[in-house]
Amino acid sequence: MPVDGRHPRDPLLGWLAAAFPGTPGQRATGSTGGPRPQIEERTVANIKSQIKRNRQNERRRLRNKAVRSEMRTRTKTAVAEAEAGGEQAVETLRAAVKRIDKAAAQGVIHKNQAANRKSRLMQRIAKLSS
């Protein structure tokens, strides 16, 4: 491989070689141990079904992201309300549990994960209430 990091056949491989010097699978000596740069997918699918699958996956990813975010927000609100000792603590807890159940029903999280999250939330609220 040339010293300047360029690869004769593939410019992406040249970039990778320049970004990660040394033998493949090993860190370069004197490495700072910092985060490595993210490699973006530069190839685009050219099969119709895969193009459609990519679109579906992206839509689902965004939907799942919104559901997870809402679930976390409701949980944080319930904990904050319990810490403050507000009168709405029961309602916010109920809303958080409902959101967790809904995420499990939609398949965003596994049903066991939902049960674990609800259990941990209930324990935190009980500890704050007592």
- Quick: pLDDT tens for 63-108: 999 999 999 999 999 999 999 988 899 999 999 999 999 999 999 9
Average of per-residue pLDDT across 120-128: 95
Confidence band of 44 (pLDDT split at 50, 70, 90)? confident
Classify domain 48-129 at the CATH topology level. Methane Monooxygenase Hydroxylase; Chain G, domain 1 (1.20.58)
Query: How much of the chain exceeds pLDDT 90, in percent?
Result: 60
The domains of the chain are located at: 48-129
Which pLDDT belongs to residue 82? 93
Mind giving me the DSSP string for the chain? --TTS--SS-HHHHHHHHHS-SSTTSPPTT----PPPPPPP-----SHHHHHHHHHHHHHHHHHHHHHHHHHHHHHHHHHHHHHT-TTHHHHHHHHHHHHHHHHHHTSS-HHHHHHHHHHHHHHHHHHH-
pLDDT of residue 48 exceeding 60, the answer is yes
Which pLDDT belongs to residue 129? 83
Query: How much of the chain exceeds pLDDT 70, in percent?
Result: 68
Which pLDDT belongs to residue 43? 62
Which pLDDT belongs to residue 117? 97
Cβ-contact 109, 67 below 8 angstroms: no
pLDDT of residue 20 exceeding 60, the answer is no
pLDDT of residue 14 exceeding 80, the answer is no
